Structure 1
């Protein structure tokens, strides 16, 4: 089982807009199954294929895991957009991209197309310095600071942290002085999924990252589950197998990466 790990530190100038960066380059197929975890955040991916094809793609939130056969001679850099960044860069609310892969130059508005032109011919492994030069100039003054700060406070409160369990949606809404409906609207526009669904994905990602390092019951409590059976059911629903099967490489059948359809609006 292969899960690509973040290989790049986010430059300070990009921190207002990016939640993470990872680069991947495979000269040979990665060993075992290549796992794409559920991810509540939208990504922009610069990808160069074995045939030399270059794509700049918006990859919307993925609500379930995907398992692929690794492919050789592929290089890419993946930018995980911070909550509230999608509309500013891509011209659409995050909810419109859930489960979709769309070329940036097919999205509405000029910002996405300009960014695609700037990065398309970069080499993914060395693209980050140029991205750090280009992206801030495209996005400065295009976000609503108050709305973005409110959304990110909600995301932080619902996320699993080592020093605390995540809060409940109703408590987050009360703490932020908004209704649960307003919080849901914030998340739908700026993240793409509801607060409850965001929290569910974040918990499962935590189990996938920390499983095996602590006992199951302890991990379930730390991730905010009612109990271990709740954790197992949630994990199975999003990952396709229960935790014990996942961590012993008893995984669902793989699908080719080419099975992901690039959809134009």
Structure 2
């Protein structure tokens, strides 16, 4: 997998752009609270992938490649023009995305997205601000800091991410653990915002299928053939 450089104008919308090629070896799709736009080279069909609430272990047939665009919180709702309540763990075809040429997107994802998003008004940043606060605060505290009710915060996340605030935060903490290169598990748990190491281990097992020590050592669930 190779990550493309996202220019400043696109960073308002996009968290990352990757081009991945299937190598026929086991791969892990980690849990992700983001909405992803995906284009497979063999199908030339644009897809929108909702939040992934559990890790997936799979093997893809070699030769295929795909472009994956990870959207910033709240941006996909504005881009697609619809709430995202029903998208968790689903992948749906996009008949069209106004302004985005699929062939150009396959050849030059950055240029294609720049052209498609250039004239779009930037959506409000409240959801992204809420996501930042949730990384270090409870749902109640986050709602209070934003001066909104907890019910309004739930609606904001459900429509803008397809997840509840609590579920969004749980996935974010697991991703923090996965992104940590080394260290004592107790320190990693504290850094990621868990109560203690046992809390982190239980949550990691829930989302990844195995405890963090086993995952790091390569003792992971068996990979299954990818049928997507």
Counterpart position of 2:146: 176
Q: CA RMSD in A?
A: 1.8
Counterpart position of 2:155: 185
1:247 partnered with 2:223:
no
Distance 1:18 1:123, change over 3 A: closer
Q: Distance between the aligned counterparts of 1:123 and 1:168, measured in 2? A: 39
Residues 220-235 of structure 1: pairs in structure 2 closer than 5 A: 220-235=189-204
Unaligned regions of 5+ residues in structure 2, if any? none
Counterpart position of 1:195: 165
Counterpart position of 1:109: none
Q: Distance between the aligned counterparts of 1:254 and 1:125, measured in 2? A: 30
Counterpart position of 2:8: 12
Shift of 1:125: 5.9
Distance 1:80 1:224, change over 3 A: same
**Alpha carbons 2:105, 2:112 under 8 Å: kept:** no
Q: Deviations over 1:53-79 (max 9, x none)?
A: 212100011101101114311222111
**Alpha carbons 2:12, 2:122 under 8 Å: kept:** no
Q: Deviations over 1:216-264 (max 9, x none)?
A: 0000001010000000000000111111111111111212221x4xxxx
SS at match of 1:213: coil
Distance 1:190 1:93, change over 3 A: same
Q: Distance between the aligned counterparts of 1:226 and 1:128, measured in 2? A: 40
**Alpha carbons 2:105, 2:111 under 8 Å: kept:** no
Counterpart position of 2:84: 94
**Alpha carbons 1:75, 1:124 under 8 Å: kept:** no
Q: Distance between the aligned counterparts of 1:202 and 1:124, measured in 2? A: 29
Shift of 1:142: 7.2
Residues 49-198 of structure 1: pairs in structure 2 closer than 5 A: 49=42, 53-105=43-95, 112-115=96-99, 118-122=100-104, 124=106, 126-137=108-119, 140-141=120-121, 143=123, 145=124, 149-159=125-135, 166-198=136-168
Q: TM-score, normalised by structure 2?
A: 0.92
Q: Distance between the aligned counterparts of 2:116 and 2:76, measured in 1? A: 16
